[in-house]
Structure 1
Amino acid sequence: MAIDFTMSTEQKKIQATARDFAENVLAPVIPGADQDPDPLQAHARTKPAYVEAYKRGIAMAMLPAAYGGGGMSCLDFTIAAEEICAVDPGFACTVLCNGLGLMPVSWYGSEEQKKRFIGAATSDPTHEYLGGWTAGEPPGGTGGTANFDSPLAAAGIGLTAVLDGDHYILNGTKKWSSAGGWDARGVNAQTVIVRTNSKVGGTQGLSALIVERGTPGITYTFLDKEAHRTASNALIQFTNARVPVDNLLPGAEGNGDLVINRNFAWSGPVAAIAAVGVARAAYEAALKFAKKNTSGSLTPIIQFQNVGYVLGDVAAKIESARYFAWRASDYLDKHDQHAELVGAMCKINVTETMFDCVYKCMQIVGVNSLSKEYTFNKYLRDAALLPIYDGGNMGMQRRRVHGVLAHESFNPRAAMDDESVYFSKEMESIGTVADLYKSTTALPEATQEAVAA
């Protein structure tokens, strides 16, 4: 990326292609899908648009070209994603989850797995192929992707994978997975974070398996949610589900926690640009309203200083947020798609700033922003979700940033100087029970026992 932030001719073409798809293919589908009371049907109603996105090279754009994907850089993908997110970030999430589900194969899989799984994703004659990402678990107990904080055995991720000959037997529950598929029978292939070693807890003993559609012993229940109505999110029950050992990603064995962190860092700039897209749509709608409505005065309200100042501030924040997303994406491209620090900082800063921008736009429009006529209700719902999903800002993203900053090896000028920042397991547990547990090993035995209790 040029330092002057000028898009190349090819990037402008990517932007124009994505904008044409978003405005002319996707936009007509979204109002009805967003309002559909059935979450499965809301997702399924976007299938024709998805098929078109697949045909145009959008759906698999982020996957490596060597295996049939678009080979698009993170920066170029982010430029395209903004256009789609300005119309519907839920649909964009469906596309993004092809990356969340299959990029771990490109990072941690064998050559055979890359050809088998990514190759199938990029050569589907029906153009319906979906990848999925399955990491989170229901609240309560010890489950959840963010729960790396207990050193006790079997704490943290609760879905177990027990070796039985040439298969793993999976038992447990996942929640918020993007793997429900078009028919609640599963996506074609999903990356699933499992506990392959139940003798250890926290960040230890986790691995990543590819689970294919049609695997017996798995049921999917679509979740009814307030935002991203068109995206697939499911509760998944695994009951003695048999997955071939050949589906274990070898580079992720014992490192499933690092897969989670890398995946959410990779998707951080995309979540950020999704927030930019939503805020952009809200800003353009508010500006249009302000130029046409007088609210009982003699002139359109855009002529009043308060309205102009607020919208000017919103416009400036959107611009700065876009550039942060571009910068984080560019960093990913330059550092082997590792951005555990920069990606997290980008996601946190942008998604929270853009939520405020959407609300500021609603204040300009006033009580009329509550009317579905102006779609601000959708902007607000989608903007509110972005800071709390995709490795929630409070659940995982800030912990990752904190862990990196607190480490003795951290160079505070690393991002500015475009240096690689390496992320390790010990950084994950900063400020948690596991971190406290480690720090007490030098304490008197009685004190250690008290802490453990």
Structure 2
Amino acid sequence: MAIDFTLSDAQKKVQHDARDFAEGVLAPAVRDADREPDPLKAFQRTKPVYVEAYKAGIAFCMLPKQYGGGGLTNVELILAAEEICAVDPGFACTVLVNGLGLLPVWYWGTEKQKSEVLGAATSDPTGEWIAGYGASEPAGSPGGTANFDTPLPQPAGIGVTARFDGDCYVVNGRKYWPCNVGGWDNRGANTSLYVVRTDPEKGGTEGLAALLVDRDTPGVTFNTIDSFGHRLTPNSEVIFDNARVPVENIVEGTKGNGDLLINRNFAWSGPVAGIAAVGVARAAYEAALSWAKTFTAGGPHPIIHHQYVGYVLGDVAGKIEAARYFCWKAAHYIDQHDYHGELIGAMNKVFCTETLFDAVYKCLQVVGVNSADRKHDFEKYLREAAIFPIYDGGNFGMQRRRVHGIIADPTFDPRALMDDEYVEFTKQMETIDTVAAPTAVAV
């Protein structure tokens, strides 16, 4: 039988090991850390947990074994991620961003960059090594990064510039929302991968590249953002003021291809975000079901025996199952197609995060006003679920536009995903929706 949803023994071990870590190591730290008002201190409270994750091989499980990583397939990564996200998706996001920052080095870096950067990440005796990833920029007019691949030159699209100067790139501008980049103390992650504009005269399909910026680089400062969800992962404003970065820190294969890097990164992370939504919805559903089986609301029987409660929770359970298997399909597709899945990754992220936000809210409705009491975790589930559709390449700003660009292409086969055929993503599929359409002329 070609299709079999039974997990292998190896896959079950990955799942169960991740569950043991999430429930035994991560869970005891979550409540106090999440309620810490200072966002940097909230993140710092997870440092001992991160060190344990590093020692357990979780922190860099997505990197190839050749360079010291865990060598997990994307399907195995998804199985582990659900267990961790059911306890706290913010901590899981910190681990995810290690992949966003370093997988492009594996895809496009020189052999020297791969061995040095990936080797350093996976051989730290302290277990504190962390990578950052920075594409997003501040809102403004122009501003933001939803139109990163616009064919227009500056100031449209990516605004951070890296000007070649002798043996360095001189970097100026601001990023906003990048994760992990400030490191544990706002002096920087061990290294961070930033998408920058190396040629301001060219548009986003030609003038972007990825630059590795190391910890304590002069001219780089960080301000931690105070977000309402995913509080155990650090988002930052980054200010570059004539920061000088060695020329060898540019990721060689990304020259002129920073646009493709962003799309490929968010394709890879699509099912990870999708399964994170599954994990949070699962936790909310299990908590609501337990509540419904014991709470009577003053009546003679627990409320699970009321039709509305039973129907709603049954619908939620069905949505969780559907989303989980879509994530498995997307991860398997990415494994089969050389870590490309620009179409299915975007579709998966949009569908799962929006479907399960509604599912989480339905769980709060079942519990009623008591879900607003912070002694329970329902308000946290709602805060976490609300982040998914707007982060990791916003569903409106980046993900749907990628789908639009692919399906609008004349070569697109609408049955490709059903037949597990490779859907190539090209520069010709970019720029859609990034330039205002010409005004129609009345006839």
TM range (shorter): over 0.9
* Aligned Cα root-mean-square deviation (Å): 1.4
Q: Tell whether 2:387 aligns with 1:388.
A: no
Q: Tell whether 2:256 aligns with 1:236.
A: no
Cα deviation for residue 425 of structure 1 reads 1.7
SS of match in other structure, 2:28 = coil
SS of match in other structure, 1:138 = coil
C-alpha contact 2:147 2:434 (8 A) present in aligned 1: no
C-alpha contact 2:151 2:431 (8 A) present in aligned 1: no
Structure 2 residue aligned with 1:173: 174
Cα deviation for residue 431 of structure 1 reads 2.6
Structure 2 residue aligned with 1:363: 365
Comparing 141-150 and 322-331, the one that deviates more: 141-150
Measure, in 2, the Cα distance between the counterparts of 1:406 and 1:271: 25
Structure 1 residue aligned with 2:194: 192
Cα deviation for residue 143 of structure 1 reads 2.9
Tell me which amino acid in the other structure corresponds to 1:233. N
Structure 1 residue aligned with 2:79: 79
Structure 2 residue aligned with 1:65: 65
Comparing 196-205 and 155-164, the one that deviates more: 196-205
C-alpha contact 1:157 1:195 (8 A) present in aligned 2: yes
Measure, in 2, the Cα distance between the counterparts of 1:90 and 1:267: 14
Tell me which amino acid in the other structure corresponds to 1:127. G
Structure 2 residue aligned with 1:159: 160
C-alpha contact 1:149 1:433 (8 A) present in aligned 2: no
Structure 1 residue aligned with 2:124: 124
C-alpha contact 1:142 1:158 (8 A) present in aligned 2: no
Structure 1 residue aligned with 2:281: 279
Structure 2 residue aligned with 1:144: 144
Tell me which amino acid in the other structure corresponds to 2:233. A
Q: 1:325 aligns with which of 305, 322, 327?
A: 327
Tell me which amino acid in the other structure corresponds to 1:161. A
* Off by >6 Å, runs of 4+ in structure 1: none
Measure, in 1, the Cα distance between the counterparts of 2:369 and 2:53: 36
Measure, in 1, the Cα distance between the counterparts of 2:167 and 2:149: 32
C-alpha contact 1:142 1:157 (8 A) present in aligned 2: no
Equivalent residue runs for 1:401-440 within 5 Å: 401-433=403-435, 436=437
Cα deviation for residue 149 of structure 1 reads 6.5
Measure, in 2, the Cα distance between the counterparts of 1:192 and 1:142: 19
Q: Tell whether 2:337 aligns with 1:343.
A: no
C-alpha offsets along residues 84-114 of structure 1, whole Å, 9 cap, x if unaligned?
0000000000000100000010011111000
Measure, in 1, the Cα distance between the counterparts of 2:135 and 2:150: 17
C-alpha contact 1:279 1:358 (8 A) present in aligned 2: yes
Structure 2 residue aligned with 1:299: 301
Measure, in 2, the Cα distance between the counterparts of 1:150 and 1:187: 29
**Matched length:** 439
SS of match in other structure, 1:324 = helix
SS of match in other structure, 2:37 = coil
Q: 2:203 aligns with which of 190, 201, 204?
A: 201
Cα deviation for residue 202 of structure 1 reads 3.6
Cα deviation for residue 142 of structure 1 reads 2.8
Using the aligned pairs only, state the percent identity.
63
Q: Where does the alignment leave 5 or more consecutive residues of structure 2 unmatched? A: none
SS of match in other structure, 1:258 = helix
C-alpha contact 2:371 2:379 (8 A) present in aligned 1: yes
Measure, in 2, the Cα distance between the counterparts of 1:41 and 1:385: 20
Tell me which amino acid in the other structure corresponds to 1:383. A
Measure, in 1, the Cα distance between the counterparts of 2:204 and 2:261: 14
Cα deviation for residue 153 of structure 1 reads 2.1
Measure, in 2, the Cα distance between the counterparts of 1:149 and 1:206: 9
C-alpha contact 1:177 1:235 (8 A) present in aligned 2: yes
Cα deviation for residue 2 of structure 1 reads 6.2
Tell me which amino acid in the other structure corresponds to 1:160. T
Structure 1 residue aligned with 2:20: 20
Measure, in 1, the Cα distance between the counterparts of 2:196 and 2:431: 19
C-alpha offsets along residues 133-170 of structure 1, whole Å, 9 cap, x if unaligned?
10000000333221236543212100000000111000
SS of match in other structure, 1:373 = coil
C-alpha contact 2:87 2:283 (8 A) present in aligned 1: yes
Comparing 84-93 and 134-143, the one that deviates more: 134-143
Measure, in 2, the Cα distance between the counterparts of 1:145 and 1:117: 27
State the TM-score, normalizing by the size of structure 1.
0.95
Tell me which amino acid in the other structure corresponds to 2:172. N
Comparing 199-208 and 358-367, the one that deviates more: 199-208
Measure, in 1, the Cα distance between the counterparts of 2:434 and 2:235: 28
Structure 2 residue aligned with 1:43: 43
Measure, in 1, the Cα distance between the counterparts of 2:216 and 2:3: 48
Structure 1 residue aligned with 2:225: 223
Cα deviation for residue 200 of structure 1 reads 1.7
Q: Where does the alignment leave 5 or more consecutive residues of structure 1 unmatched? A: 448-453
Measure, in 1, the Cα distance between the counterparts of 2:173 and 2:434: 24
SS of match in other structure, 1:175 = strand
C-alpha contact 1:149 1:202 (8 A) present in aligned 2: yes
Q: Tell whether 2:105 aligns with 1:91.
A: no
Tell me which amino acid in the other structure corresponds to 1:55. K
Structure 2 residue aligned with 1:3: 3
